[in-house]
Chains A and B, each alone.
Chain A
Amino acid sequence: MEQVNGKQKTIRNVLYWGLPVLAIALIVAGWIAFSGAHPDLMPSPATVWSRFIKTFTKPIAKTTLLGHAWASLKRVLLALLVAWAFGISFGILIGWNRKARAFFGSIFEVIRPIPPIAWIPIIIMWFGIGEFPKILLVFIGTFVPLVINTSTGIELVDRINIQVGQIFGGNNGQILKDIVIPTALPSIFAGIRTSVSSGWTTVLAAEMLGANAGLGSLVTRGWQGSDLSLVMVAVITIAIIGALLSVILQKLEKVVCPWNN
């Protein structure tokens, strides 16, 4: 009996580890087949690999691939820090204070459906294509989901938990800190997760429209110079960094909200 269970368990483990590996292997196999059939449309993995090595030996715009990745990351992180500070505080304000919600709520309903990249033309016209407009764009794209997630989380607070705070003699500040914000933490965290992925895509879009450094600028450069291998290198790097960010956030969430499984 034990043995059968043990065996089933290993089979299941192999399955859950094996399936993702299988999926990736299939993609690579498809890639090889496709690039073999249409070398003009798609460079082979080996070509992309040697292009990858070349980004270090022969830097693009005086910057290695790592430098470009860091340029993009720096913009996102800077914008995110500002967006987290303001977005979360603002979300708490309009979640907790009815008058603030009545006033700002409608504005957010209007702004919410606008995709961040739709701001690009306006921002470029106003601020040009320097560093600031890029960071501002990412800020706009991440501020809104943060405010909405935070305020929704705050509104979800259970009446009974607030009553616990009141009966044990907590004042408004203590109730906000001990009861309301912890209740909202999981949804604040959902907002942070959305902000990171939307910030990451926004910065790349902004860089594609004009930048000296950054992964987005590599995509544009490769595209305009018909260097498809370079486009692939940039795209794969973008995907890997995006995946890493999401793994880091998942781990962080377990630390910040341990009760939430």
Chain B
Amino acid sequence: MPIEDNRPVKVEVKNLTKRFGDLLVLDNMSFNIRKGEFVCVVGPTGCGKSTFLNCLTRIHMPSEGDLYIDGVPADPKKHNISFVFQEPSALPWQTVAENIAYGLKIKRLPKEEIDQRVNQILDLMGLQEFRNSYPGELSVSAEQRIIIGRSFAMKPDLLLMDEPYGQMDVKMRFYLEDEVIRLWKELGSTVIFITHNIEEAVYLAEKVLILTNKPAKIKEEIVIDLPRPRDITDPRFIEYRNDITDKIKWW
């Protein structure tokens, strides 16, 4: 049995329903995510995972119900949120370094602070040698690292990632999985991480939310009670992985 969690609520999802015309995508979802929690969301393709995040960032407005961050209705202007989109979303007219600085400039941080963070992120993401290149000149995986770096640079309270590592090779994925954990621990951020990869979910999450097929509801919340760093060959790890895989397959 998981230990009781006393952390305050960061994100409250209350009777969230989303329709696109007649298409019901999210069906009356309610759940809480606690401050500092690392949550992975898994579910069948097209079930509404991105739609959920898009409601949280107000790219879409909920049809019914609402989402609250720190007790107030979600609003990206009010909270320190950063978001890694599922699709490539680097700004093509900015260099790699400018892209990483983008959110920091909007927040009007002092120039030295911006320079220092950008440099640190360029190193972290292995993009230092491309700092003056444009995204269109780089590979898909490098472009994805730009937007991951752009969101890490914000030192966000709430980090939202929509299948961020889908385009990466295994080595880069393992490296970036450890980096997101490090950032999470260092900043105490709350992380919501959508993935198709169940091994990745079990490796990262404190809690995995399994969604049903569309219209999406929470099928089950699974607390991953494994010590870190986690070992993907550990029998208990494999047990979690198989358990979640079965639950996605059979509904």
Name A residues whose Cβ lies closer than 8 Å to a Cβ of B. 160-161, 163-171, 174, 178-179, 182-183, 185, 257-260
* A-B CB contact pairs (8 Å), 16 listed: A161-B89, A164-B85, A164-B91, A165-B106, A166-B76, A167-B76, A168-B82, A168-B103, A169-B76, A169-B77, A169-B106, A169-B107, A171-B77, A178-B102, A183-B93, A259-B92
At the interface, yes or no: B165 with Cβ under 8 Å from chain A?
Answer: no
- A111 CB to nearest chain B CB (Å): 31
- B65 CB to nearest chain A CB (Å): 21
- B145 CB to nearest chain A CB (Å): 16
* A161 CB contacts on chain B under 8 angstroms: 89, 91
* A258 CB contacts on chain B under 8 angstroms: 134
**Which of A164, A183, A258: most chain B Cβ within 10 A?**
A164
The main secondary structure of chain B at its interface with chain A is: loop
At the interface, yes or no: B23 with Cβ under 8 Å from chain A?
Answer: no
Count of A-B contacts with CB under 8 A?
A: 57
* B92 CB contacts on chain A under 8 angstroms: 259
At the interface, yes or no: B59 with Cβ under 8 Å from chain A?
Answer: yes
Bound Cα distance from A168 to B136, whole angstroms: 22
**Which single residue of chain A is at the shortest CB-CB distance from B102?**
A168
* B102 CB contacts on chain A under 8 angstroms: 164, 168, 178
Name B residues whose Cβ lies closer than 8 Å to a Cβ of A. 57-59, 76-77, 81-83, 85, 87, 89, 91-94, 102-103, 106-107, 134-136, 154
The answer to whether B91 touches A163, judged by C-beta atoms less than 8 angstroms apart, is no
The answer to whether B134 touches A167, judged by C-beta atoms less than 8 angstroms apart, is no
* B85 CB contacts on chain A under 8 angstroms: 160, 163-164
Q: A167-B76, A258-B134, A259-B92 are in contact. List 20 more A-B contacts (CB 8 A).
A: A160-B89, A161-B91, A163-B89, A164-B102, A165-B106, A166-B76, A167-B81, A168-B76, A168-B82, A168-B103, A169-B77, A169-B103, A179-B91, A182-B91, A182-B93, A185-B93, A257-B93, A259-B134, A259-B136, A260-B93
